[in-house]
């Protein structure tokens, strides 16, 4: 068809429209790429703007003398006596004659509930993903994957309300805890939000393991369980770790579930059946009514910035670790 002299003249005739088409194609191309570029840029820009805004509002904790007198760094992180002569304690009590802004119980509560959620969610999610990818019949896989992913679509306030109204009562009647609302109740609710994220990412990682790995393993006489556990899981490890880091980030920033289900008492204890108060719930509960420009207001923004830094550092560490593991695995293969 191409290069024959007979067809050269019709081709010449068609040059104009095809050139036009090429030109409009190029314009559409350019518009599309500009749109994509600008939306990517917009995401980064809004991220930077939000960080600048939070940072600016958090800065008086370091710079303003008035804020520092009430809530300086030493007051935020070191124990303070509630009254003159009283024992120094870590207390979060911002509305008081002597406001107390210790972040230590909030940090402990945040870590406690996040840890519980992650410990509950990761084994369930990773094993479910391994099962779906390696053992489930294709039709069953078509059902279970969207079903678990649908779990992520449930608004967290609904999960929180479920924990407050139903789950807390069940757990209390089974275990006889004094406090219905506690770190475990909130952690279980939180794990419902973490499971779909870890599951989806881990499942993708398992599916991405080359079929040749499995065939090779089976050919050498391994059972399908040995193949899944000793071949597929290690090969997908970087993806699984990335899933865990994402799950941790989701858990530490989640607000509504812990606000509803944790009881929000800022206690500093190791018991998982005590009530806890997290950073995110504190911001959500207090920012709405706080006097703009007061020390309390700036401390809440400082908490926001602190939370931002924690998640950012976790993600960064996760990336670095995943990258290292990937390199190591590729080196071995």
Q: Which residues lie near other proteins (CB under 8 A)? A: 47, 50, 53-54, 82, 91, 93-97, 164-165, 168-169, 172, 178-181, 249-250, 252-255, 259-260, 263-267, 275, 277, 280, 283-292, 304, 307-308, 311-312, 315
100: which strand partners?
A: 93
What gap in Å lies between CA 199 and CA 125, rounded to an integer?
Answer: 5
Tell me the torsion sign for CA atoms 164, 165, 171, 175. positive
Q: Give the shortest CB-253-to-other proteins separation in angstroms.
A: 4
Q: Residue 227 or residue 255: which is nearer to other proteins going by CB?
A: 255
Q: Give the shortest CB-112-to-other proteins separation in angstroms.
A: 15
Q: Residue 100 or residue 214: which is nearer to other proteins going by CB?
A: 100
Q: Residue 96 or residue 330: which is nearer to other proteins going by CB?
A: 96
Q: Give the shortest CB-288-to-other proteins separation in angstroms.
A: 6
Q: Residue 182 or residue 217: which is nearer to other proteins going by CB?
A: 182
Q: Residue 14 burial (CB < 10 Å; 0-12/13-18/19+)?
A: exposed
Q: Give the shortest CB-236-to-other proteins separation in angstroms.
A: 23
What gap in Å lies between CA 77 and CA 103, rounded to an integer?
Answer: 6
Residue 277, classed as helix, strand or coil, is coil
Tokens of 190: 């939180």
Q: Give the shortest CB-151-to-other proteins separation in angstroms.
A: 16
Token look-up 């290292």 returns: 324
Tokens of 291: 């006097």
CB atoms within 10 A of CB 10: 9
Residue 89, classed as helix, strand or coil, is strand
Q: Give the shortest CB-189-to-other proteins separation in angstroms.
A: 14
What gap in Å lies between CA 147 and CA 162, rounded to an integer?
Answer: 19
Q: Give the shortest CB-54-to-other proteins separation in angstroms.
A: 6
CB 208 within 8 A of CB 292: no
Q: Residue 207 or residue 271: which is nearer to other proteins going by CB?
A: 271
**Buried b vs exposed e over 61-80: b needs ≥16 C-beta within 10 Å?**
beebeebbebbbeebbeeeb
What gap in Å lies between CA 239 and CA 143, rounded to an integer?
Answer: 23
What gap in Å lies between CA 217 and CA 227, rounded to an integer?
Answer: 6
Q: Give the shortest CB-144-to-other proteins separation in angstroms.
A: 25
Q: Residue 131 or residue 321: which is nearer to other proteins going by CB?
A: 321
Q: Residue 124 or residue 265: which is nearer to other proteins going by CB?
A: 265
What gap in Å lies between CA 244 and CA 124, rounded to an integer?
Answer: 12
Tokens of 110: 């945040």
Q: Residue 231 or residue 283: which is nearer to other proteins going by CB?
A: 283
């Amino acid at each position: 068809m191409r290069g024959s002299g007979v067809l050269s003249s019709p081709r010449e005739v068609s040059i104009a429209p095809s050139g036009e088409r090429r030109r409009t194609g190029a314009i559409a191309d350019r518009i599309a790429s500009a749109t994509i570029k600008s939306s990517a840029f917009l995401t980064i820009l809004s991220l930077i703007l939000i960080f600048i805004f939070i940072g600016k509002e958090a800065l008086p904790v370091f710079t303003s003398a008035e804020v520092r007198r009430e809530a300086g760094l030493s007051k935020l992180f070191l124990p303070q006596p509630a009254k003159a002569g009283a024992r120094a304690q870590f207390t979060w009590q911002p509305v008081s004659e002597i406001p107390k802004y210790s972040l230590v119980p909030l940090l402990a509560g945040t870590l406690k509930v996040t840890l519980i959620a992650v410990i509950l969610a990761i084994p369930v999610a990773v094993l479910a993903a391994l099962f779906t990818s390696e053992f489930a019949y294709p039709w069953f896989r078509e059902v279970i994957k969207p079903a678990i992913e649908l779990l992520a679509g449930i608004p967290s306030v609904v999960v929180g309300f479920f924990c407050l109204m139903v789950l807390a009562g069940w757990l209390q009647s089974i275990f006889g805890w004094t406090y219905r609302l506690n770190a475990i109740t909130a952690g279980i609710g939180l794990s419902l939000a973490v499971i779909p994220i870890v599951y989806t990412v881990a499942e993708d990682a398992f599916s991405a393991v080359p079929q040749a790995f499995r065939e090779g393993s089976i050919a050498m006489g391994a059972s399908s369980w040995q193949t899944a556990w000793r071949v597929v899981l290690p090969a997908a490890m970087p993806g699984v770790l990335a899933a865990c880091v994402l799950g941790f980030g989701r858990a530490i920033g989640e607000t509504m579930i812990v606000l509803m289900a944790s009881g929000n008492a800022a206690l500093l204890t190791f018991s998982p059946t005590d009530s806890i108060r997290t950073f995110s719930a504190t911001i959500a509960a207090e920012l709405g009514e706080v006097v703009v420009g007061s020390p309390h207001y700036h401390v809440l923004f400082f908490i926001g910035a602190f939370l931002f830094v924690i998640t950012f550092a976790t993600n960064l560490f996760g990336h670095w670790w995943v990258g290292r593991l990937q390199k190591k695995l590729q080196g071995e293969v």
